[in-house]
Each structure stands twice: as structure tokens, then as C-alpha cells.
Structure 1
Amino acid sequence: MLNTRTLGKVGEELAKLFLEKEGYRILEENFWCRYGEIDLIAKEADYVVFIEVKLSNNKSYLTPQEKVDYRKQRQLEKVARYYFSLQQVDSDFRFDVVAISGDKKNREIELFKNAFYC
């Protein structure tokens, strides 16, 4: 059985490969600052996209949007604002969630664009 950190890395790698196939260009992985962490930052069309990855080995009753609760959304917003201040980027942005479920032989990946608004 994989520990939580290793499982998270597996999920982020699967999400990264999936997003690249969907036309996203990955800019940052595991971006950390004093406000917290964002799993992936990417460019898609004219948007900078901040992406939270949720991996589950079984189906959950919660939607991916529900798993990213209000507190987590505010944290991601702060990290995104900090990222923009460092990069001095003036671009539209959004928050996406990649939900990965199932066991390692049968993974299902779903992308939720504009999963929440700030």
C-alpha cells in the first residue's frame, strides 16, 4: 500500500500527462510559498490555470469541487496571487480540479474547468 505522499505524487504525474494531452503547457509543479501549495500551474489558451489534483482509490460521495472546500479555495487564491506577484504576469486565470479515481489498473480521470471562482 502506498503512503499518502507517494499516492499524491502518482496522482500529480497522471494529471500532468492527462493535461498535456489536453493541450495544457505545465509551468510549475508543486509550487510552494508561505501561503501554501498548488499542485500544478499551467498555461491553456489565454489562461494561467491553477490546478488542484484529487486522487481517490475508490468512488467518493463528494464531488471534486466539494473536496476543495472553502478554506482550501481561499488558500489556493492566496497562493495564486503570490505567484502572479512573483511572475509579474497580467493574464486571465482560473482554477481547475483534476479528479482521479479507481484502482491502479482502472483509473478514471475527470477535468473540472473553472471548478470555483475567487
Structure 2
Amino acid sequence: MNTRTLGKVGEELAKLFLEKEGYRILEENFWCRYGEIDLIAKEADYVVFIEVKLSNNKSYLTPQEKVDYRKQRQLEKVARYYFSLQQVDSDFRFDVVAISGDKKNREIELFKNAFYC
């Protein structure tokens, strides 16, 4: 399975997981000139920008460790752009959904407020 297909699988698993947790998905794969955000959702009074990271057991870094400072700044720029388009006046946060394990044994963890901008 190539990286793009694996990413799509991870995003679909994350989407199903988040919906069960009470999130309402607003956007999937939101693109702009600054980059991409995997999922944008509404949860309680928050607009939530969600980065999905999937890794197998062979990786040295945990999925959430892959959202480094550079990626955080990129996500911040995309979020600001999204707000400028939508003219939303709401609290927001950044969550990370970390999916690890192999096909038969996936573990999904949600990190609310994974980082701040």
C-alpha cells in the first residue's frame, strides 16, 4: 500500500472515530496555498483543526511526534486562512489523531489541544 492510500485509510479511520466522539466533520483535506489540513470539525463550541498521523510499528517516532514545530506553524497558517474565508468567529484548537499498529490491530488516540499557536 502506497503512502497516499495509507493516508486515506488513516483519515477515514480518524473520521469515523471522531464522529463517534461527537465531532461534526466540516471539511476533509482542506487545501490552500499554505498547505493542507486533514480534517476540520466542530466539537462543542470549538472549530477543531485535526492532523491525522498513521504509522506502523516499525516507525521510530510515534504518530503524534511527527507533528513537529514546522508542521504546527504550517497548520496555523492554513487555519488562519480558513477563518479568513469562512468569517467564523469561534474558539478553535488543534487536535492530533494518532493511529498506530498494523491492519489487524489499530490503536487510535486523540490528543486534544495538541499544540497552541
- Give the Cα separation in 2 of the matches to 1:71 and 1:104: 29
The residue matched to 1:102 in structure 2 has which SS? strand
Greater shift, 64-73 or 107-116, is seen at 64-73
Give me the TM-score of the superposition, normalised by structure 1.
0.95
- Give the Cα separation in 1 of the matches to 2:111 and 2:81: 23
Structure 1 stretches of 5 or more lacking a match?
none
Distance apart, 1:14 and its partner CA = 0.1
- Give the Cα separation in 1 of the matches to 2:92 and 2:64: 17
Partner of 2:14: 15
Distance apart, 1:5 and its partner CA = 0.1
Give me the TM-score of the superposition, normalised by structure 2.
0.96
- Give the Cα separation in 1 of the matches to 2:58 and 2:108: 12
- Give the Cα separation in 2 of the matches to 1:36 and 1:13: 20
Q: Please list the CA deviations of residues 13-59 of structure 1 after superposition, one character each: whole Å capped at 9, or x if unmatched.
A: 00000000000000000000000000000000000000000001216
The residue matched to 1:50 in structure 2 has which SS? strand
- Percent identity (aligned): 99
Supply the RMSD in Å over aligned alpha carbons. 1.1
Partner of 1:25: 24
- Give the Cα separation in 2 of the matches to 1:11 and 1:96: 15
Q: Please list the CA deviations of residues 41-81 of structure 1 after superposition, one character each: whole Å capped at 9, or x if unmatched.
A: 00000000000000012164434442101110000000000
- Give the Cα separation in 2 of the matches to 1:91 and 1:67: 27
Greater shift, 17-26 or 61-70, is seen at 61-70
Tell whether the 8 Å contact from 1:65 to 1:116 is kept in structure 2 after alignment: no
- Give the Cα separation in 1 of the matches to 2:54 and 2:62: 12
